[in-house]
Amino acid sequence: MKSPKPERHLLSKSTFMYGCQCPKRLWLHKFKPEVRDEEDEAQIAIFQSGTDVGMLARQLFPGGIDASPETAYLYQQSVADTAKYISKGHTIIYEAAFQYNGVLAAMDILVQQNGKWYAFEVKGTLDVKEQHELDAALQYYVLSNAGLELEDISILHLNRDYVRSGDLDIQQLFTATSVLENVVALQPLIQQKEAELKDVLKLKSEPAIEPGNHCSKPYPCDFYGYCSKDLVEEEAADEEYHFNTGAIGAFLETIQYPILFLDFETWMAAVPEQDGHWPYRQVPFQYSLHIKHSEETEVEHMHYLAEGPHSPHLQFALHLLSSVPQRGTVVVYNKTFENMILNQLKEEFEELAPAIEHIQERIVDLMAPFRKHYRTPLMQGSYSIKYVLPALVPELSYSELAIGNGGTASAAFYNLKHATDAAAIETTRNALLEYCKLDTWAMVKLLERLQVDLNKASANFGDPFAS
């Protein structure tokens, strides 16, 4: 016989957090879900990663009973089942659900030890973040008011110092951090927010809140496309044209033929899948290399794309070293990233360190002049290549590509491990090659544009924008 169920909740942990980020997000989620942005492949991968981490964390407390509902609409049954499991003496409950005053909360793991209850919320991050404490504070509020006294509440997060060697060590993979003190201090805020957000749900129309920084913090809002659709795109009106002739001339003098335009793509997983990996290690799987041997020669292109996430990244390193000439300037866009990957490869494969260092010694960052010395309104205040390229080389665009950004590229490559259709695999691999190729071809064209504008600036007494 099933336990009696409470009435359906007004707020859940998720919707409470939506409302804290932006009341409009909460209202749209409840009343206009059809205008939500479509999930891209990278977002889906993030959600799945969180689910996988949560399931692994259960192994720290084996033998528990699962109170998860069959669907998201049946959480009231989970509340009733949780109460039943506690009354029957179960000491480990997964997805233990509680409800108080119309607010629902489900703990990832609830454990009783020596007659006292301990709550654990699992996060697929390397640290405890501010939003995690607010999340836990709501859960503490619901559980304690629903009659369950907690001895402690902790965030189970990934251990940044764990490096896999052999079988996955679950005990070493996770770190438990108590947040009880901060959670207790947040209880007045939880009560205040509960009342405010319930009032939001009484509104007949969506709150009048304009897009801003809150749209991406602490998480990207899935209604941003809807909220921003009517915004008039301003070409960064506060930005002026700026071209520092001396600085750009000095930058260009550092570049010597042959010029090697290099870009990496990486994948990462929350849970390390191979020896030598740690949580969220960025593992290189692809590079594109355009080579211009002299001012007169055509540009040559070379590339590498691993078979899949199972491929040893030693193959990447060896292929890279065989492709990059021993002389010439190595041009990248954001050298911090490429150097991080190369440093990791040096540490792992010591025999390759001298050759890798020879590449690093020749790296020049094409992003540098666009950070301080070259600006136009069309860059919208950004020096990201995704803004600089359409501003200066409008004939090139990422928008026409099947894969148009690094996050999508990483997710698409990682998901090849699950693919079985040969045609779909080939399509994805071709899309990855085209995306990475555009990254380095974009650098070729941007460097050409810098030289053209420098020549124009010299002819126009320092102003390349003069007619």
What digits encode the pLDDT tens for the residues 254-296?
999 999 999 999 999 999 999 999 999 999 999 999 999 999 9
Which sign does the torsion angle of CA 9, 12, 18, 21 carry?
positive
Query: Which range (4-8, 102-106, 177-181) has the least confidence?
Result: 4-8
Better pLDDT: 410 or 39: 410
Distance between CA 10 and CA 306 in Å, rounded?
A: 48
Residue whose structure tokens are 């921003």: 228
With 60 as the cut, is the pLDDT of residue 2 above it?
A: no
Cα 233 to Cα 230, 237, 399: the distances in Å are 9, 10, 17
Tell me what pLDDT residue 232 has: 45
Q: Which tokens belong to 16?
A: 């409470």
What pLDDT, in 10s, does the model give residues 119-177? 999 999 999 999 999 999 999 999 999 999 999 999 999 999 999 999 999 999 999 99
Would strands 259-267 and 329-332 be described as parallel, antiparallel, or unpaired?
parallel
Domain ranges of the chain: 13-227, 242-459
Tell me what pLDDT residue 237 has: 46
Q: Which tokens belong to 396?
A: 């090139």
pLDDT, average across residues 383-406: 92
What pLDDT, in 10s, does the model give residues 11-68? 999 999 999 999 999 999 999 999 999 876 555 555 566 678 999 999 999 999 999 9
Distance between CA 446 and CA 284 in Å, rounded?
A: 24
Better pLDDT: 228 or 444: 444
With 60 as the cut, is the pLDDT of residue 440 above it?
A: yes
5 burial level (CB within 10 Å; 0-12, 13-18, 19+): middle
Residue 1 banded pLDDT, cuts 50, 70, 90: very low
Tell me what pLDDT residue 233 has: 47
Tell me what pLDDT residue 316 has: 97
With 70 as the cut, is the pLDDT of residue 434 above it?
A: yes
**pTM for this one?**
0.85
Residue 6 banded pLDDT, cuts 50, 70, 90: confident
For 288, half-sphere exposure in the C-beta direction (CA atoms, 13 angstrom radius) is: 21
Residue range 242-459 forms a domain whose CATH class is alpha beta
What pLDDT, in 10s, does the model give residues 194-240? 999 999 999 999 999 999 999 999 999 999 999 988 764 443 744 57
The share of the chain scoring above pLDDT 70, in percent, equals 94
Tell me what pLDDT residue 68 has: 94
Tell me what pLDDT residue 465 has: 73
Tell me what pLDDT residue 7 has: 84
Please determine whether the domains at 13-227 and 242-459 fall in the same fold group of CATH.
Answer: no
Name the nearest CA neighbour of 255 among 98, 450, 432, 387: 450
**Are the C-beta atoms of residues 286 and 432 closer than 8 Å to each other?**
yes
**Are the C-beta atoms of residues 310 and 418 closer than 8 Å to each other?**
no
Tell me what pLDDT residue 231 has: 65
**Are the C-beta atoms of residues 329 and 360 closer than 8 Å to each other?**
no
pLDDT, average across residues 244-252: 95
13-227 to CATH, choices 2.60.40, 3.90.320, 3.40.50, 3.30.9: 3.90.320
Residue 457 banded pLDDT, cuts 50, 70, 90: confident
Residue whose structure tokens are 């000095």: 250
Q: Which tokens belong to 283?
A: 């593992």
Coil vs helix vs strand at 7: coil
pLDDT, average across residues 434-450: 96
Distance between CA 170 and CA 177 in Å, rounded?
A: 16
The share of the chain scoring above pLDDT 90, in percent, equals 84
Query: Which range (5-9, 11-15, 82-86, 435-439) has the least confidence?
Result: 5-9
With 90 as the cut, is the pLDDT of residue 461 above it?
A: no
Mean pLDDT of the chain: 92
What DSSP designation does 233 have?
P
